[in-house]
Amino acid sequence: MSPAVKYTLARIGLFVVVLVALWPTPLDLLIKLMLAVVFSAAVSFFFLRGLRDQMAQQLAEAAERRRAEKERLRSALAGDDQPPATPAESEEGGAKS
């Protein structure tokens, strides 16, 4: 499972746990929801650091792949880059020599 999915599910789980803990209190539902959001965010900051770091690493790697692909496409469009030879072209080149 992707680190982003794990982190998201953990955040939702924390929110539900805090909301269930606040349920018996005699507060308005909107106040309970707001408190659950704030408390679950604070708790996740400390307890979900590992998952958050994994997700950040995954997003950084994806951004780097997109950047490299964008640069490759730009250079190919500018004519600076020769397309890689296919195996058939490699064999033909070897036979002509």
Distant-in-sequence, close-in-space partners of 19: CB < 8 Å, separation ≥ 6 = 32, 33, 36
User: pTM to 2 decimals?
Assistant: 0.63
Q: Are 18 and 43 in contact (CB under 8 A)?
A: yes
- DSSP labels, 12-27: HHHHHHHHHHHTTSSS
pLDDT tens for the chain, 97 residues long, are: 888 899 999 999 999 999 999 999 999 999 999 999 999 999 999 998 999 999 999 999 999 999 999 998 988 888 775 555 556 655 555 555 4
Please tell me the predicted confidence (pLDDT) of residue 29: 92
Q: How far is CA 89 from CA 44, 75, 97, in A?
A: 55, 22, 13
Q: Where are the domains of the chain?
A: 3-81
At residue 83, what is the residue type? P
